[in-house]
Amino acid sequence: MNTYRSNPRDASGFLKQAKKQLGQNFLHERGIIEKIVLALSPKANERIVEIGPGQGALTLPILEKVGKLTAIEFDRDLIEPLTRAAHASGGELNLIHRDVLQVDFTALANTLGGPIRLIGNLPYNLSSPILFHALAHAPAICDMHFMLQKEVVERMAASEGSKVYGRLSVMLQAYCQVTPLITVPPGAFRPAPKVDSAVVRLVPLAPEAIQVQDRAHFAHIVRAAFAQRRKTLHNALRDLCDDAHIREAGLEPQMRAEQVPVAGFIRLANQTCQNGLR
């Protein structure tokens, strides 16, 4: 069978059809690409790692500025045309064909010689797992710039009291500065998704600025508190702590999770951890 005839490709060798099962939506709008590259402000000698380079919309203009880039791509059909495009641009592209959730970013940073900058237009169906996977390697990461569903970015950056404030907001803001940057309309992609997208910047906090004493316990407290949003802390956390512990953390048992600031969750987790309540 003629592979190229059965799977039509464009002049650059990329498949014309995105793979829906991989959540592919390829960025193509030049103005948006320029805004993202400007926000990233890549410099020569920086160790930039791109997750899901796709058809190279961000890869190639970044390569022009820094000369060298590492990219992680799961779709083997993109490897060859990406390699050719990078070679034609004169840049050095190190392509890793792997599931990003299996990539050890700490080991990769060590191989590249120091902390890395992560960028990527993330598959929307895998955005949260990728975010938490990257967060686990935060000491090896300078910053992260990701394209996500706009509603996910709004949740990431939300403050207490907001309707979209939740577990994702707390878990990310406890360890990172979260800054929404650019809203991207559906028409900037092929095929166009059904929702708006947005670019967000995540800057991991310095180790000395992270106040969480036990990460696993903190995650357990936050997960339990938001498991049923309408429950009060008294009801949601009854198996983990009593009202006295909640008050000692400067909170009220009748508060709901959506009313508790990030700092409040950190105090509660640290206080209950110190008292051996896990």
**Could you give the domains of the chain?**
3-207 (3.40.50.150), 215-274 (1.10.8.100)
Q: What is the largest CA-CA distance in the chain?
A: 71
**Helical ranges in the chain per DSSP H:** 3-6, 30-40, 59-66, 79-89, 105-112, 127-135, 150-157, 167-173, 215-226, 233-236, 243-248, 262-274
Which tens digit of pLDDT belongs to each residue from 111-151? 999 999 999 998 888 899 999 999 999 999 999 999 999 99
Closest CA to 77 of 142, 172, 178, 3: 3
Which residue is it, tokens 């906090």?
Answer: 205
Q: What is the pLDDT of residues 67-109, one digit of tens each?
A: 999 999 888 888 888 888 888 888 899 999 999 999 999 999 9
Answer yes or no: is pLDDT of 12 > 80.
no
User: What is the token pair recorded at 80?
Assistant: 């060859």
pLDDT at 239 over 70: yes
Distances (CA, A) of 92 to 13, 59, 75, 84, 108: 19, 11, 20, 11, 17
Percentage of residues of the chain with pLDDT beyond 70: 90
Average pLDDT over the chain, rounded to an integer: 89
The 10s digit of each residue's pLDDT in 45-75 is 899 999 989 888 899 999 999 999 999 988 8
Mean pLDDT confidence for 22-27? 63
Query: Which pLDDT value is given to residue 258?
Result: 97
Tokens of 11: 């002049």
Q: Does 32 score more than 70 pLDDT?
A: yes
176-184 and 141-149 strand pairing: unpaired
Two tokens, residue 153? 């970015």
- Between 59-66 and 79-89, two packed helices, what is the crossing angle to 10 degrees? 40
pLDDT, tens only, 180-200? 999 999 999 877 878 999 999
Contact 193, 156 (CB under 8 A): no
**Rounded distance, CA 116 to CA 110, Å?**
9
241 in Cβ contact with 265 (< 8 Å): no
